[in-house]
């Protein structure tokens, strides 16, 4: 998993509440078990028209937002079914962080396990970020996980709260397997002592 220490990226404002995992990655694309290849199907039903062409009204298709890596959303992002494919699709597309007033619990946990940083912010702060994004074309944020801050080029400086354990995992690029391998020497020793393997 790619470590997350500091990231500066273009902000994609998605002014929608209750964005569910069925919209993030529709069920017809859940036929693979690899974590890659899902980005092309991200927000498929919103992104494309019935004839398969880009929906020019959808945020992800706006030329000035091409390459966005920070997603700004409204409350209850990632609700719906508990598919891990949702953070896989967001990460595969290129997003590194999601800012919202609240997240569905399972989606929130799955983000950390897949190298995405979900950040819970007060609703008033999210409102202010939407305003800033509208006022400053090409609006970018810097998210520093080491100092636990979000800054922009216009005087913004916000503290963020991230659980110490999850922060450790992201800073070091550790998923569940990586965490286990941190104890590889102990595991090997145990196996040798008990004649396993």
CATH number at residue 111: 3.20.19.10
Average pLDDT over residues 51-72: 96
Q: Give me the helix-helix angle, 105-113 and 164-171, nearest 10°.
A: 40
Q: What strands, in cross-sheet order, belong to the sheet with 97-100?
A: 117-120, 97-100, 70-72, 6-13, 140-144, 149-151, 157-159
Residue 180 has pLDDT above 70, yes or no: no
Residue 188 has pLDDT above 80, yes or no: no
pLDDT one-digit tens code per residue, 119-132: 999 999 999 999 99
Domain that holds residue 45: 6-193
Residue 162 has pLDDT above 90, yes or no: yes
How far apart are alpha carbons 104 and 82 in whole angstroms? 9
* pLDDT more than 70, % of the chain: 94
Model confidence at 167, in pLDDT bands (50, 70, 90)? very high
Average pLDDT over residues 85-101: 97
Q: 132 in a domain, yes or no? A: yes
Structure confidence at residue 30 (pLDDT) = 85
Q: 47 in a domain, yes or no? A: yes
Model confidence at 197, in pLDDT bands (50, 70, 90)? low
Q: Which regions of the chain does DSSP assign to beta strands (E)?
A: 6-13, 70-72, 97-100, 117-120, 140-144, 149-151, 157-159
How far apart are alpha carbons 165 and 147 in whole angstroms? 15
Model confidence at 184, in pLDDT bands (50, 70, 90)? low
The DSSP secondary-structure symbol of 150 reads: E
Q: 1 in a domain, yes or no? A: no
* pLDDT more than 90, % of the chain: 80
Q: What is the pTM of this model?
A: 0.90
With a CB cutoff of 8 Å and minimum separation 6, the contacts of 43 are 23, 24, 58, 60
Q: How many beta carbons lie within 10 A of that of residue 151, not counting itself?
A: 16
Residue 66 has pLDDT above 70, yes or no: yes
How far apart are alpha carbons 117 and 140 in whole angstroms? 16
Contact assessment for residue 152 and residue 139, using Cβ atoms and an 8 Å cutoff = yes
Quote the number of domains for the chain: 1
């Amino acid at each position: 998993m790619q470590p997350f220490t500091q990231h500066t990226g273009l902000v994609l404002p998605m002014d929608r509440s209750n964005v569910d995992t069925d919209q993030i990655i529709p069920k017809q694309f859940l036929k693979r078990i690899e974590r890659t290849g899902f980005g092309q199907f991200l927000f498929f039903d919103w992104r494309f028209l019935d004839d398969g062409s880009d929906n020019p009204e959808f945020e992800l298709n706006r030329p000035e937002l091409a390459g966005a890596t920070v997603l700004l959303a409204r409350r209850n992002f990632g609700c719906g079914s508990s598919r891990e494919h949702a953070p896989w699709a967001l990460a595969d597309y290129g997003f590194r962080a999601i800012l919202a007033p609240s997240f569905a619990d399972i989606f929130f946990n799955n983000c950390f396990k897949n190298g995405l940083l979900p950040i819970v912010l007060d609703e008033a702060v999210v409102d202010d970020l939407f305003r800033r994004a509208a006022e400053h074309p090409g609006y970018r944020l810097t998210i520093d996980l080491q100092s636990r801050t979000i800054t922009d080029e216009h005087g913004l400086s916000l503290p963020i709260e991230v659980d110490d354990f999850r922060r450790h995992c992201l800073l070091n690029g550790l998923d569940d397997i990586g965490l286990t391998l941190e104890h590889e020497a102990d595991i090997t020793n145990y196996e040798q002592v008990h004649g396993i393997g």
